[in-house]
Amino acid sequence: MKTAPDRIPHLRASVSAYEPNQAMLVQDQPSERIGSLRSGWAFAHKTLQSGRRHILAFLLPGDLIGIDLLAMGRNPLPYGITALSDASVCWFDTEAFHELVLAEGAQRSATQYWMSLYISTFSLRTAMIGHATATARLAEFVLELFVRLRHRNLTRGDGYEFLPTQSQVADCLGLTPAYVSMTLTRLRKRGILEIRDRTLRVLDERELHRIANAKDSEAATLDTK
């Protein structure tokens, strides 16, 4: 959102504040606006007809809210977006923002980069849910948030504010809250990470990378240590 600073303020339709668990965009409804998360966290989620919810992604300050709308236009959004914490969003008219992306080469490149990263992250997590162990999934998840927050200078040394609950992490990774708790405890006892007062510290980033990418035979043993 920094590539066309002279034009973006003129496109801004509104700025809205949200409380935790307040809807930003509603599943299966069209939206004529796209947002930029100014502060706080949010999450994208799909609710099935049974009422069960799966969290697709966590959104961090600087992320676009409803980035898919640039390609989908006025068609209903297949998922919802909800505030995870107190948050604020700058809203833009989707068509006006799309025209800016087409007209400004730098803005187009930046938007394509973030859309590529969004799709890459989503596809990797989907593949890991189907084929990776619980420990590998959780290691990749912790690293993903760490790298994204560090890129935006939102980390504090080797740590960052870890806002999702264990139930929300479970919804995202296809696990149970009990399994998330047990796996976090394993990683903590091995001196790889630490969670205290909603701050997660990555104590051994190299080992966390190794666990996230471990082969099946090794990964299976990690889930029992």
Pairing assessment for the beta strands 33-39 and 64-65 based on DSSP bridges: antiparallel
Among the candidates 90, 124, 158, a domain finishes at: 124
Instruction: Look at the block and give the residue holding tokens 């029992």.
Output: 224
pLDDT of residue 72: 78
Q: Is residue 2 part of a domain?
A: no
pLDDT above 80: residue 192? yes
Q: Is residue 1 part of a domain?
A: no
Pair 114, 214 in one domain: no
Q: Is residue 150 part of a domain?
A: yes
Among the candidates 69, 99, 124, a domain finishes at: 124
> For residue range 49-83, what is the model confidence (pLDDT) as tens digits?
888 899 999 999 989 888 888 777 778 899 999 99
Pair 110, 14 in one domain: yes
Q: Is residue 3 part of a domain?
A: no
Pair 161, 110 in one domain: no
Residue pair 94/70 in contact by the 8 Å Cβ criterion: yes
Counting the structural domains of the chain, the total is 2
pLDDT band at 126 (very low <50, low <70, confident <90, very high): confident
Pair 73, 149 in one domain: no
Residue pair 158/201 in contact by the 8 Å Cβ criterion: yes
Instruction: Look at the block and give the residue holding tokens 């394993």.
Output: 186
Q: What percent of the chain has pLDDT over 90?
A: 55
First vs last Cα of the chain: how many Å apart? 44
Residue 111, C-beta contacts closer than 8 angstroms, at least 6 positions apart: 64, 67, 70, 101
Pair 12, 119 in one domain: yes
Q: Is residue 152 part of a domain?
A: yes
Domain interval for residue 213: 133-222
Q: Is residue 76 part of a domain?
A: yes
CATH code of 210's domain? 1.10.10.10
Q: Is residue 199 part of a domain?
A: yes
